[in-house]
Amino acid sequence: MRFLFYDRVTELERGKRIVGVKTFALSEEFLRGHFDRRPVVPGTVLIEAMAQLLGWLVIASHDFRLAAILSLVDDVTIADPLLRPGIAATITAELLSTSASDSLGRARMEVDGTPVASVERVIYTHLPPADSERLKDIFCYCSGLDRRTLTEGGAAK
């Protein structure tokens, strides 16, 4: 079972923002037996998708030298009705502040420019990673990025 709630990263500006895409498929594990006649993506999954991308932005902004542990999610808005399977959503996350010990950011999810969900305050606590080189490899694999795009201060598009 895979709990990665974004398909790829389309933009990365270290220290600033990250943009990714997620198309929710009817085959997603969390939809199994869930609202059989009218499946919808649970709001908690939308929050997790935004948090995952923002977490990677924190990690990339610190050159993969830390692990970002989700500590707080506040001021969440989920649109009604919820997303249905088959729809592609764009996730944009911004880093508002960061230090050696923690980071603050916000994120939003849109479908064709229409807001679907947002989180105005997300805080991550920082811990040292077990292996920063492996962390870079995992990020590139999960995000569809080439490791060469992770140059210092560079942006992926």
Kindly report the CATH number assigned to the domain that includes residue 106: 3.10.129.10
155: in domain: no
156: in domain: no
153: in domain: no
**What is the pTM assigned to this prediction?**
0.90
What are the start-end ranges of the E strands in 54-143?
67-78, 88-98, 102-111, 114-127
pLDDT tops 90 at residue 87: no
150: in domain: no
Pick from 39-43, 81-85, 116-120: least confident: 81-85
Quote the CA–CA distance of 21 and 9 in Å, as a whole number: 7
Overall average pLDDT of the 135-140 stretch: 90
Q: Smallest Cα–Cα separation from 54: which of 100, 117, 104, 112?
A: 104
- Structural domains in the chain (count): 1
Coil, strand, or helix at residue 143?
A: helix
Beta bridge partners of 70: 124
49: in domain: yes
Task: Please tell me the predicted confidence (pLDDT) of residue 84.
Answer: 79
157: in domain: no
Task: Please tell me the predicted confidence (pLDDT) of residue 37.
Answer: 72
Pick from 46-50, 86-90, 91-95, 102-106: least confident: 86-90
Q: Smallest Cα–Cα separation from 93: which of 128, 59, 66?
A: 59
Overall average pLDDT of the 57-77 stretch: 95
| Active-site amino acid positions | 34
Residue range 15-37, pLDDT digits in tens = 999 999 999 888 887 777 766 67
Task: Please tell me the predicted confidence (pLDDT) of residue 1.
Answer: 35
Q: Which domain holds residue 55?
A: 8-145
Name the pLDDT band for 50 (thresholds 50, 70, 90): very high
Q: Output the DSSP codes for 18-67.
A: EEEEEE--TT-GGGTTSSTTS----HHHHHHHHHHHHHHHHHHHTTT-SE
pLDDT tops 70 at residue 56: yes
2: in domain: no
79: in domain: yes
